Each structure stands twice: as C-alpha cells, then as structure tokens.
Structure 1
Amino acid sequence: MYRIYINDTVLIIADFVPGGIGPNQRIDVQSFDFKEFYKHVKKGEGSVYVLLTDEPRRMFKKIRKPFLTIKAAGGVVKNEANQYLFIFRKGKWDLPKGKLDDGESTKIAAEREVAEECGIKVLSVGGKLCKTWHVYEDRGQTVFKKTSWYKMKAKKQKLIPQLEEDITEARWIDAGDFSFVRQNTFPLIKDIISLLEV
C-alpha cells in the first residue's frame, strides 16, 4: 500500500479497500489521470481516496515517473520527559524536516534539519520510523517529496524556531496531548503521530 499526501487529501494506492472507505472515495483505475486528480484536490477541503489496483507498486511508479522527485528527511524527537518536538509553520503544526544537501545521507540530513529548524542538539538518531510521499508545487512544477523520518532523542532544552523558514514556534508537547496537534495539522503528520501511539 502507498499513500500520497496532497495538503489535506490522501490518495491510497492498494490492492484492497481499507476500512471506513465509502464507494464515493474509490477511484476507477482505468480512467485515472494523476494530473487531473491533483488539480481537483490540491485546494480542496481534504478527503481520503483509494485507487484500487492489482499492482500497487507498479501503479505508484507510473504515477510519479513524469514528475521531479526530491529527497528530504525529518526527525521525530523525544525528550526524557516523554515529550515530542513540534514546530508551527505557516499556520499548522508540523515536524522538523528538509531537503537533503548534495551527497548527504538521509540520517545526517534529518539531524541537521532538526538542529537548524529548532536550535537544539540531538543526542542520538535511531532507526527510521517511516517514509512518506508528499506532492506540492514549486515554481509551477509538480514535485513528489520523499521524506525519511527518524526517531531521535534530545534533552529538554530551549527551542529556537528558524524564523527564516516560516517557523514561528517550536514546542515540546506531551505524548498525551497529541489531540491538540491533530486539531490543526496535515493528514501526513496525523499518520506519523499514530505510529508513536502504538
């Protein structure tokens, strides 16, 4: 199964229909055109759609082949008080992440981005939590961003949001207060949060 995030919309490519998906959320694979779909949903209010296919991997590759792919990495940072690091960017709660520099590994990039965007020192970078695919426009070009997310540890410390990256706040949030973040974030971040609650 693959998930493509477009602002508040999620496109699931799978060989089964996940629970809670109604008939109006299923897309006919024969007539599917991603460019048209993207145009339709990029400014929409958000929903979940399922593209049902016998070969999800092949369909996913076919969808993203015409577009530029950018690699990025981010961190899900936990401190000793069982709090997680979130940033507030462009009116939404988010997690620190950014594009890879030339020749940089995803793990190194994730640590660097957390340090730059929040002004903190990371103690350790653990294993990969997940990877996500997010579609957006950059200078009129549709881009697929592949983000590798890593688990990290840091001491509770003063946070310095990177204002030049439109981050107006960085905050430690208790694991029990994720509902606060969920009220004003993207489906992609909600899905990452759900991995922390297992």
Structure 2
Amino acid sequence: MGDFHPEAHVKGFAGSSIIALLCSNKPATFRFISAIQQMYKVFFNDRTVYFGDNFSRAFVRNKGLFYKYNNIQELNELIELFSKLNQINSLYIFHEDMLMVIEEFKACFHVIEAGGGVVFNRSKEFLAIKRNGIWDLPKGKLEKGEDFQEAALREVEEETGLSGLKLMEPLISTYHTYRLKGEKVLKKTRWFEFEYGGTDLPVLQAKEGITDYRWVIPGNTDFLRQNTYSSILDVLYMRKLL
C-alpha cells in the first residue's frame, strides 16, 4: 500500500463507473466535514462512506474508492466489496440525485433508529460513559411509539441514572453500520443536547456494559479520542467539544 493508482478498476466492477485511489492505511476521521460540503456520510467502523453530487471536487481532494451510482443491485454488491477491502478507508458515491441514492443505500440494510444525548452539568462539562471498554455517549434504540427526542431523554436517564434533565437543542444525526446475526444493519442516531442542574452522581446501567463515566472539560479529550467511535467524534466535533 502507499502507491497511487489513479484508475485502478476494482475486481468485479470493471464495467461500472468505479475508480479506486489506493492510499496508505490511515484511519478515516471527521476532518471531512470541513473539506467537502454538501455531502452525507455513513461510518463503517473506522472507515467512511460519503454521498455527494460533486465528483470532481472530491476526486481532487481525497483518496479512496469512487463510484457513480448505476443501480441498487450494483450498489449492494459494492457495499459487500467495501466491507472486505479494509485497505481502502473511504468510499465516495456520486449521483445528481443524491437523496435518491441515499434512500437506495438505506434499502440495502435493515434500518434501526436511536436517540442519544450530550449532557452538560453546571460547570459546562459534558458526560462521557465507558461502554464495553470504549468511551461513548448515552444512546439507545427507539421504543414503539417514541420519537427521537423522547427516546434520547429516556435512554440518557436509564443509562446514567440522572433525572431532571432539560432539553436544550437538537444536534446532528449520525449513521453507522454493523452486522447482527449475519444481517447488514444501518443505525441512525439523532443527537440532542441536555443540561443537568443537579448534584447527584451518575448511577450507571451495568446491564448495558457501562462501567465508568467522566465529566469532561471541553478540549481535554485526548483520552476519549484514543478510544471511541468515529460517530461519537463526529458529534463532539460538530459541538466544538474536541
């Protein structure tokens, strides 16, 4: 790896509109938002799928796998291929009707919706929790009849034991994929900002694998950067907490 191949067709897609730019094996990060506007993204663990309608700008500035959408069958095959090509950190999918392609992408997955929260205390510190050994933010799936805001509030209360939370404002939505019992899953999480004015200590939800917490001063996040998910970094970056 490290060599630059400007027109390397990927095996199995020689007849399609796909170009691979192979680069060094660097982890995908949230830096993309400031580099390319008017695009959407989905996290594949520490790698990223981007959607956009401006091929030339992204092609000049980035390295990865570039694909112009043709049909959903080919898209589904490409998703499977990308999931196996760990040496390629980014997949860029383009079409004039970007929102249509995003809907086609969703159709390749079982979609799960979730709500999550960034909780601030009176000292303007935010709450990070350690779940299954990885730093995270409180979040969880929507229950039947809930909207995103209701789910976010309930999940934050359940996972932290804090009550009396005040909803401040909606933040961003993040998307990430994983496999569950062999099925491709796409999870959409809508994030909200909450304020906690109390003095009680968090009571962590052990059955969810939550074992530790920290009230974090914005900017003092090195420990978190080193052991969290790209989607969580995205939330913190957009809220200017990193």
Q: TM-score, normalised by structure 2?
A: 0.73
Change (3 A) 1:85 1:35: farther
RMSD, aligned CA: 2.4
Determine which structure has the larger strand proportion and give its number.
1
Kindly indicate whether residue 190 of structure 2 is the aligned counterpart of residue 152 of structure 1: no
Q: Does residue 8 of the first structure (1) align with residue 46 of the second (2)?
A: yes
- 1:169 maps to 212
The Cα shift of 1:134 comes to: 1.5
Measured in 2, the distance between the counterparts of 1:148 and 1:51 equals 23
- Pair 1:28 & 2:71 matched: no
Alignment of 1:37 with 2:79, yes or no, is yes
The corresponding residue for 2:123 is: 81
Shift of 1:67: 2.2
Point out where structure 1 has 5 or more consecutive residues left out of the alignment. Answer: none
Measured after TM superposition, the shift of residue 133 of structure 1 is: 1.4
Distance between the aligned counterparts of 2:183 and 2:211, measured in 1? 27
Structure 1 window deviating more from structure 2 (77-86 vs 45-54): it is 45-54
- The count of corresponding residues between Structure 1 and Structure 2 is 197
- Alpha carbons of 1:21 and 1:50: their partners in 2 closer, same or farther (altered >3 Å)? farther
For residue 33 of structure 1, give the secondary structure of its aligned residue in structure 2. helix
Structure 1 residues 102, 30: CA separation in 2 closer, same or farther (over 3 Å shift)? closer
Residues 69 and 93 in structure 2, CA contact (< 8 A), matched pair in contact too = no
Structure 1 distance, partners of 2:228, 2:84, is 16
Q: Deviations over 1:120-163 (max 9, x none)?
A: 11420122101111111222211111111011001353122211
Q: Output the CA distance in 1 between the equivalents of 2:141 and 2:87.
A: 27
Take 2:223 and 2:179, find their aligned partners in 1: how far apart are those partners? Answer: 28
User: Counterpart of 2:96?
Assistant: 54
Relative to structure 1, is the Cα distance of residues 113 and 30 closer, same or farther in structure 2, using a 3 angstrom cutoff?
A: closer
CA deviation map 1:45-88 (0-9, x unaligned):
78333223222211111111132211110001111111111111
What is the deviation of 1:176?
2.1
Alpha-carbon contact 1:77-1:153 (below 8 Å) kept: yes
2:156 is paired with a residue of what secondary structure?
helix
Q: Choose the corresponding residue for 2:161, options 73, 95, 119.
A: 119
Residue identity in the other structure for 2:47: T
Who wins on radius of gyration, i.e. which is larger? 2
Does the Cα contact within 8 Å between 2:69 and 2:101 map onto a contact in 1? no
Tell whether the 8 Å contact from 2:76 to 2:108 is kept in structure 1 after alignment.
no
Cα gap change, 1:55 to 1:179, in 2 (>3 Å): farther
Cα distance between partner residues in 2 of 1:19 and 1:123: 44
Q: Structure 1 residues 104 and 54 mapped into 2: Cα distance closer, same or farther (>3 Å)?
A: same
Give the TM-score normalised by the residue count of structure 1.
0.87
- Give the distance between the partners of 1:126 and 1:3, measured in 2 at CA: 25
Give the equivalent residue in structure 1 for 2:31. none
- Judged with a 3 Å threshold, the aligned counterparts in structure 2 of structure 1 residues 138 and 30 are, in CA distance, closer, same or farther, namely same
